[in-house]
Structure 1
Amino acid sequence: MSDDIDIREGGVVAVDTGSLRAAADRYAVLGARVREVAEDLGAQARAVSALGPAAAYGGSVPYRLQNAAFAAESHADDLAGIARDLRELADTYEIVELRARRAMAVGVDARAAAAQAADLAAQRHPDAARRADLAIRGRDMEIGAGLVSAANGGVGLAGGVAGIAYPQLAGAIDAALLSLPVAAQSLQALIRRLGTGTIPPGRRLSGDAAVVEVRQEGGVTVTASPRDLAGALSRIPDATRVRVETYTMPDGTAKYAVYLAGTRDFPPEAGDDPWDLSSDTRMYLGEDAAAYAAVVQALDDVGVPLGAELYLFGHSQGGLIADWLAVQGGYHTRLLVTAGSPTEADVGPGTLSVQLRHTDDLVQSLAAGGSDERVGAAGSLVVERAGDPAPGIQDLSFAPHRLAAYVATAKMLDAAPDPRTGPMRSALAELRGATSVTAVEYDARRVPRQAAKGGGGL
């Protein structure tokens, strides 16, 4: 998967179990009919043979009829096997779905009911439960393998350099690198156990964020709507943190496109810039953070009302913020696009979700593959590829996680003839119907505690 993208609907499986069972029933009916034909052919072969050699043309007719009967019987067995396999798949996928609902359930009663349903299904279909376990473990192993694949081979340079400097550690370093896929599998399981990689519906950030102030940069500008997904992701700001576009529609209503930047400041301690590892970690663990508060302030400054229709585009921490906005912000999120986000938001059927993930991106692996079920409206997509297929020293700089790499992936998706991209294209096209488009960008900073309390100057 170097220059190729993998487009799917998300989850361990994204299958309608009802459709699977309906298909199984159709195959079973067809198999039964073919079996009836086999029996009829066999009966005709015996009847012709009983007429004597002359009528049977020396036995060739009964022979051919019997061969046709055997072939029909074999096809009937194949059809019955397909029906059986489809039912087994439906049982497996149903258990995966029930377990996903159990993980996402909010409230004691809801969790208990979801757990009971999942346990009953596993008891009724123990083989399907084992297959579901294998499917989830297989996904986790794929994530780990992607992180240490040839595409991320440059990461091994660190081990090589350390091995030269400290030969006694070379064996231990190599063993650690080789064990990463298995370790990643355990990490994915731990992330799901902690519930940090997915944001279920109804969940809210807890605690209080640091006080922040936002400032408008460059004034309001007139612009046009993005032509495609790559064009939209390219608008995620670099020098600033938030870009808000207001689309005035022919009927006088407004839609808003919001572009959110990724982490900019990497020291572990909270500094002036809200887009730092402190905000990243807090939101990932479900706590309110300065970066999220800054985005809310920016939307308020633009005049975006609660319930307004949003089109969200976020990279890295910006994707994390977009996920939380879609779940708890109080807006109507029409389109949620994340690139390299460490989380997946379990948005409802009114939100089209498009997630871009690079298999060699360490940050996106923190989502642990996302929900076991598909999230979002029909037509929601998860798009994957190796973000930086060529191994090299650039792997040490998180090249697969960079916005430019994800814009390249978006270009591939835009060029893909896959009909599943239709809903995404339609959602983006909605913005092109605006009569006017204006844009404004914001930067932000944390307010020192003393200044926030009014206890002195900066």
Structure 2
Amino acid sequence: MSDDLDITHGGAISVDTEVLRDVGVRIAVVAERLADTQGSIRRAHGIIVDAPGLGAQLDTVALWASADRVDELQRRCEEASVGTLLMADAYELVELRAQAEGLALTDAAAADALYARIEQLEASDDRVGGMADMLIAGWKDRRFEGLDSQFDLSGAMAHLFVGGGLIGSTLGLGKVHAGKPLIGKADPVTVRPVAASTPVGTPASLADAFRRFPEAPGAQIRVDRLTMGDGSTQFIAYIKGTQSPFFGAGEPWDMKSNIELYAGKTSASYQATLDALAAAGARPGDRVDLFAHSQAGMIASRLAMESEFEVQVVATAGSPTEPTLREDQLLVQLIHSDDIVSSLAGGGSPGGTGSPDSFTATREGDSSDGVQDVWADTHWMHSYIETAEMVDRSSDSRAVALGEYWKTLDAAEVIESTEYRAERTGWSG
């Protein structure tokens, strides 16, 4: 296990550009005050040397040297301010380019407005465009780190794992764009409850949430119905990943659904999730938060982007796709750089997605070579729970902010939990 956890907003963006720009402005203010200080020291030096007998009582050489040091510090602050503001522009340019690319599919007018700002940034300094290009290039180089270190069977495993990342990045299927909903009709399914309980509390941490996946035999979905103090209800869905390596049999969470979802088609597993939420009492407009592993990450992405539910929080582990969420939706992604499944996302978006508090937590799940790589041990839930525990211990402000979310859930007065098992009953016509 590797303890080197990297938490960013996603893609090439690792900082809040507005915060970075504010830092640059503050450094500029410090530089101005240092310039004033340097001027005051020089004037004091002049007064001292001009006053008869005063210069002999004070170390004017040291005073002049202190002005030199302040002058050097002021120069460095000016350089730091210019560099910080330039980097903020480069980060903003990366974000705007990614946003414009997505909007071009659904809102040409909004995309054109962004292109105007892009042109303004590029024209503001000849270096900005090049710096943005370098950020993207660096992100592209880093996004598949760890895949080629997998257990090597005469090179076959390395090619397989890196190939997974190239599929996502080359075909562009790893990023779910707004305005491109699922197409087609799902295979028919039946959904039935197989277990019910009344938990004593809601999740208190990210790891706690990922431990709450269904446990009843054959169950793929758990839905918790929360009744809050004001009588309102909201829901949390915990959705398992792939349950069968076969194609098109009774288990909806199989390779057929994997391929369909990745290709943008409606799967039996997606339909089963909708049916389970409806069976739990969720209605259009109700709040539904989502915790999902593997294939379920694709289901959660689509629920957040195109369902009639009000999805505010999406947390995925080892998802093969990344959604394009609104700025009022929180996205938490757990990714192992040596997980072939999450590599199918192709690195996601260089500009990140979701609210400013959204983040992607990435690490190499297992830095050692071994036969465990053959069965993709770093993709399984136990490995991602370890990563969730690391996030819970992190001092990153975005990880710490999750504490407020757990507190809001803790206000629930009644919790009703139901686990559902879905079965595919045929093929769509």
**TM-score (ref. length: structure 1):** 0.84
Q: Deviations over 1:427-446 (max 9, x none)?
A: 22333332322222222222
Preserved contact between residue 35 and residue 74 of structure 2 (Cα < 8 Å):
yes
The one-letter code sitting in structure 1 at the alignment partner of 2:148 is V
CA 1:265/1:12 → structure 2, altered by over 3 Å: closer, same or farther? same
Q: Which moved more, 1:382-391 or 1:9-18?
A: 9-18
Task: State whether structure 2 residue 202 is matched by structure 1 residue 223.
Answer: no
* Residue 57 of structure 1: aligned partner: 56
Preserved contact between residue 165 and residue 345 of structure 2 (Cα < 8 Å):
no
Secondary structure at 2:344 match in 1? helix
What is the percentage of aligned positions where both structures have the same residue? 30
Secondary structure at 1:33 match in 2? helix
Q: Deviations over 1:224-270 (max 9, x none)?
A: 33343222212223632111111222332222111111112224x43
* Residue 101 of structure 2: aligned partner: 103
* Residue 163 of structure 1: aligned partner: none
Task: State whether structure 2 residue 208 is matched by structure 1 residue 210.
Answer: no
Preserved contact between residue 45 and residue 63 of structure 1 (Cα < 8 Å):
no
Larger proportion of helix: 1
Determine the C-alpha separation between the residues in 2 that align with 1:185 and 1:341: 12
Determine the C-alpha separation between the residues in 1 that align with 2:356 and 2:119: 28
Preserved contact between residue 265 and residue 275 of structure 1 (Cα < 8 Å):
yes
Task: State whether structure 2 residue 310 is matched by structure 1 residue 310.
Answer: no
Determine the C-alpha separation between the residues in 1 that align with 2:161 and 2:98: 26
* Residue 170 of structure 2: aligned partner: 190
Determine the C-alpha separation between the residues in 2 that align with 1:407 and 1:180: 22
The one-letter code sitting in structure 2 at the alignment partner of 1:64 is A
The one-letter code sitting in structure 1 at the alignment partner of 2:197 is T
The one-letter code sitting in structure 1 at the alignment partner of 2:279 is D
Preserved contact between residue 96 and residue 372 of structure 1 (Cα < 8 Å):
yes
Determine the C-alpha separation between the residues in 1 that align with 2:73 and 2:174: 46
**What displacement does 1:110 show?**
3.4
* Residue 30 of structure 1: aligned partner: 30
Preserved contact between residue 144 and residue 180 of structure 1 (Cα < 8 Å):
no
The one-letter code sitting in structure 1 at the alignment partner of 2:198 is V
The one-letter code sitting in structure 2 at the alignment partner of 1:25 is V
Give ranges in structure 1 of 5+ residues lacking alignment. Answer: 160-172, 454-458
Q: Which moved more, 1:26-35 or 1:14-23?
A: 14-23
* Residue 413 of structure 1: aligned partner: 391
**TM-score (ref. length: structure 2):** 0.89
Determine the C-alpha separation between the residues in 2 that align with 1:28 and 1:235: 49
The one-letter code sitting in structure 2 at the alignment partner of 1:222 is T
**What displacement does 1:98 show?**
0.9
Q: Deviations over 1:202-234 (max 9, x none)?
A: 44212222222223224x333233343222212
Q: Which moved more, 1:197-206 or 1:110-119?
A: 110-119
Counting only pairs closer than 5 Å after superposition, residues 19-418 of structure 1 correspond to structure 2 as 19-46=19-46, 48-49=48-49, 54-57=53-56, 61-105=59-103, 106-149=106-149, 152=150, 154=151, 156=152, 158-159=153-154, 173=155, 177=158, 189-191=169-171, 194=172, 196-218=173-195, 220-224=196-200, 225-237=202-214, 239-267=218-246, 269-418=247-396
* Residue 427 of structure 1: aligned partner: 405
Preserved contact between residue 140 and residue 188 of structure 1 (Cα < 8 Å):
no
* Residue 6 of structure 1: aligned partner: 6
Larger Rg: 1
Counting only pairs closer than 5 Å after superposition, residues 435-450 of structure 1 correspond to structure 2 as 435-449=413-427
Secondary structure at 1:375 match in 2? coil
**What displacement does 1:177 show?**
4.7
**What displacement does 1:321 show?**
0.5
CA 1:64/1:185 → structure 2, altered by over 3 Å: closer, same or farther? farther
Determine the C-alpha separation between the residues in 2 that align with 1:274 and 1:56: 90
Preserved contact between residue 203 and residue 327 of structure 1 (Cα < 8 Å):
no
CA 1:313/1:180 → structure 2, altered by over 3 Å: closer, same or farther? closer
Higher relative contact order (CA 8 A, sep 6+): 2
Secondary structure at 2:367 match in 1? coil
CA 1:248/1:49 → structure 2, altered by over 3 Å: closer, same or farther? closer
CA 1:313/1:115 → structure 2, altered by over 3 Å: closer, same or farther? same
CA 1:76/1:305 → structure 2, altered by over 3 Å: closer, same or farther? same
Determine the C-alpha separation between the residues in 2 that align with 1:312 and 1:179: 30
Determine the C-alpha separation between the residues in 2 that align with 1:122 and 1:190: 27
How large is the RMSD of aligned CA atoms in angstroms?
Answer: 2.8
Q: Deviations over 1:190-210 (max 9, x none)?
A: 25xx3x222234442122222
Preserved contact between residue 141 and residue 184 of structure 1 (Cα < 8 Å):
no
**What displacement does 1:419 show?**
4.5
**What displacement does 1:111 show?**
3.5
The one-letter code sitting in structure 1 at the alignment partner of 2:205 is D
Preserved contact between residue 102 and residue 118 of structure 1 (Cα < 8 Å):
no
Determine the C-alpha separation between the residues in 2 that align with 1:304 and 1:402: 29
Preserved contact between residue 169 and residue 345 of structure 2 (Cα < 8 Å):
no
Determine the C-alpha separation between the residues in 2 that align with 1:5 and 1:128: 29
Preserved contact between residue 246 and residue 256 of structure 1 (Cα < 8 Å):
yes
Preserved contact between residue 165 and residue 340 of structure 2 (Cα < 8 Å):
no
**What displacement does 1:348 show?**
2.1
Preserved contact between residue 258 and residue 312 of structure 1 (Cα < 8 Å):
yes
CA 1:286/1:115 → structure 2, altered by over 3 Å: closer, same or farther? farther
